[in-house]
Amino acid sequence: MPYSTGDIAAKLPYLRRYARALTGSQATGDEYVRTCLEVIARDRHQISEKVDLQTELFRLFHKVYAAADPRMPHPGRPGASEPALRTVMALPPIERQVLLLSALERYSFGDVAYILDVPEETVRDLFNRAQESMMSLAAAKVLIIEDEPVIALELKSIVESLGHSVVGTADREKEAVAIANRTTPNLVLADIQLGGDDSGIEAVRRILEKHSVPVIFITAYPERLLTGKGVEPTFIISKPYDPSMVRAAVSQALHVSSASANA
């Protein structure tokens, strides 16, 4: 029996999270997801019932992604003017896909090979090359918004292991905004809920009023940030996370930001 519409809808927040992380844009990522849904609507057999539904959706997404070639925007296509589509990223697309699927989405190399339709040996090679490329990024200034001291320290260590510097760690909205205004960071890592009544989302909103900077949100409930209503975050890390997830997200966010700036 084919997967129901409800089954598919329940998996969409995770596909949307990945799509926007890969493309660096809410509008562009969602465009690819919409195209996937149109393909499924025309032919439900595009989704195999013998494989996990979420994995099948990721596989179909990559068929659509590869056919469209995000480096070559189509005239008149919604989102074609997005900087992330107009510029070839420094990290080759297939390597970015492998890195995000493996490190951020936690797929095994075998599953990544199935999703991308390439040999598993190739996936391993691409992942190793992607790991090496992460270290070649120009040093960036990073602001951490986190009210748990242990997590803040861990994030600082991860960021610095990539060769970047932490310009400040804030556990309150006012402090976060003040640090951002003083240091002009290149990237923000933000928890959703801070101590008391403070909100990481509100802190980021205030920062973005004055600074154009990529933001990575950290939350145990990513689906709550992907409702399809209004502006949503481009980069989301699910809790619990491990260092490889943070490294992959930081690398991708900075690559997208650099490509947009050079477009």
Q: Which residue has the higher pLDDT, 88 or 169?
A: 169
Confidence label for 85 from pLDDT (cuts 50, 70 and 90): very low
Terminal CA-CA length for the chain: 47
Summarised one tens digit per residue, pLDDT across range 208-226 is 999 999 999 988 777 667 6
**Per-residue confidence (pLDDT) for residue 75, from 0 to 100:** 37
Domains of the chain: 1-80 (1.10.1740.10), 89-136 (1.10.10.10), 141-262 (3.40.50.2300)
pLDDT in tens, 86-136: 333 445 678 989 999 999 999 999 999 999 999 999 999 999 999 888 887
Q: Which of helix, strand or coil describes residue 39? A: helix
146-156: per-residue pLDDT in tens?
999 999 999 99
Residues 3 and 50: beta-carbon distance below 8 Å: no
The pTM assigned to this predicted structure is: 0.82
Q: Beta strands 187-191 and 215-219: pairing type? A: parallel
Dihedral of CA 245/246/251/252: which sign?
Answer: positive
Question: How large a percentage of the chain has pLDDT more than 70?
Answer: 84
Q: What pLDDT does residue 246 have?
A: 94
| Side-chain half-sphere exposure of 238, counting CA atoms within 13 A | 14
